Chains A and B, each alone.
Chain A
Amino acid sequence: MTQLRRNVKLDQLICWWSIPIFYQFFGLIFGYLTKIMGPPIPGPNLTLEGITAFTLGNARHMQIGIVLLAISLGFASMGTGVIVVQMRRMSGPGPVLAYCYLACGAAAALPGCLFCGLLFAVSVFRPDRDPQIIAVLYEMGFVGFIGCLGCFATQYLVFALAIFLDRRAIFPKWLGYMTLWNLVTELIAAPVWIFRSGPYAWNGLISFYLGVLIFVVWIVCLITWLKKAIKNQPLEEFDPACTGTLLV
């Protein structure tokens, strides 16, 4: 029994650790290797030469980055898993919002992340590919990546809602408000489907840079307060028979 009590939060902590680790990978993949998220992020008006330089000119790094993404993206599910466990502890909202969060997280993986990686992988797969085709893949990858809104919009909405309805304050209320800002970043990213330059293009100051800034602040807060929520979870909530059922 003492053994159980000592390790009772281990599974959640392993999942929690996956979040900062995954985002390190994310930064390595999108910021350093593939340079898809810059710095600075290339734009819709890049010339054919520029696009070729960005893709084929960086082919080896880009491929390594996307191979890493193909391996590591699945592990992002662990973050979803532990957040769902904490959401299930909330009193007020039942499990439905936790399941929404789970479903949205699952749905987001392809359109919201991997699709972009695949398109770039295809673009650098053959060094003799027609640059016009590479340009189309470049555009599809970028606009589809920055412009994928709905999965995150719904996910942030249900997360904020759960926090507001939660009478046990598993997460602080201000995190709910910050989540609403994240929701708004999906709104301000919507115009990337229209503009090829300016603050609302996919490389724009507002649609991209402000959006990323708000997201980074949010994820840091989420990671920190998720750890606190796990730490503060009373041992009485864990079923001694180790069934995984919550005794809230």
Chain B
Amino acid sequence: MTTATTLPARHLPGDPSIWVFVLGDMVIFGCYFAAYLFDRGHDHELFLQSQQHLSQGVGAINTLILLTSSLFVALSTQAARAADLRAASGLLTLGGACGAGFVLLKSYEWYSKLSAGLTISSNAFFMHYYMMTSVHFFHVLLGLVILVILRRELQGSAPPRMQLLETGATYWHMVDFLWIIIFALVYLMR
């Protein structure tokens, strides 16, 4: 039975540089969040009103989708460590499918907002909404590419590199985490 290359039991998951990326990316997103909160502080009323146009239900479903996908990716990593590569590959596919679901639902959400005449230049709230969700969307697309690369690693003939799997998984969890903050700030916070 093929086994994944092993790493010491207690270690920082993934390639150390991914953590540079994760922390840096969170700081950069933090700047977007800060800008959002700053503008929100200036025109609370406008932001509250505009927020009504967003469906909390859709946002919640998207959050659930990404959380589920993160769960699948985490389980996949676990399965790979336990050398169950078939399960790992299958779980990764499920995670990717959820990610694709997020992409579809977010596209639909944008489409419905645009059809209602709510564009990026409608007001400050929608400027932030479209900008943050667009940059996050780009991260999700990149994440899907990474998941495909990870799946190929699992299905390859050589034993899969655990560090690569963990690095990719870390990136995906970061994408999920960022979405949760966006959901909280943009959809929920009153």
Contacts and interface: CB of A to CB of B under 8 A. Distances in A.
Q: A contacts B directly in the complex (CB < 8 Å)? A: yes
A205 B135 CA distance: 16
B167 to A, nearest CB: 9
A180 B141 CA distance: 13
Nearest to B22: A177
B24 A195 contact: no
A154 B95 CA distance: 28
Interface residues of B, number: 22
A187 B134 contact: yes
Contacts of A178: 20-21, 24
Contact of B135 (A176, A184, A198): A184
A206 B20 contact: no
B28 A187 contact: no
Contacts of B52: none
Specify the main secondary structure of chain A where it touches its partner.
helix
Contacts of A173: 15, 17
A177 B32 CA distance: 19
Contact of B18 (A177, A194, A195, A200): A177
A194 B121 contact: yes
Interface string A147-180: 0000000000000000000000000111011101
A229 interface: no
Interface in B57-111: none
A198 B121 CA distance: 11
Contact of A191 (B16, B18, B120): B120
A200 B131 contact: yes
A188 interface: yes
A186 to B, nearest CB: 10
Given A187-B134, A210-B28, A199 B39 contact: yes
Interface in B15-44: 15-18, 20-21, 24-25, 28, 31-32, 35, 39
Given A178-B21, A194-B121, A210-B31, 18 more contacts: A172-B17, A174-B17, A177-B17, A177-B24, A181-B24, A181-B25, A184-B135, A187-B134, A188-B32, A188-B135, A191-B127, A195-B127, A199-B39, A200-B127, A200-B131, A205-B35, A206-B31, A206-B32
7 contacts: A172-B17, A173-B17, A181-B28, A187-B135, A191-B127, A198-B127, A206-B31
Interface of A: 172-174, 176-178, 180-181, 184, 187-188, 191, 194-195, 198-200, 205-206, 210, 214
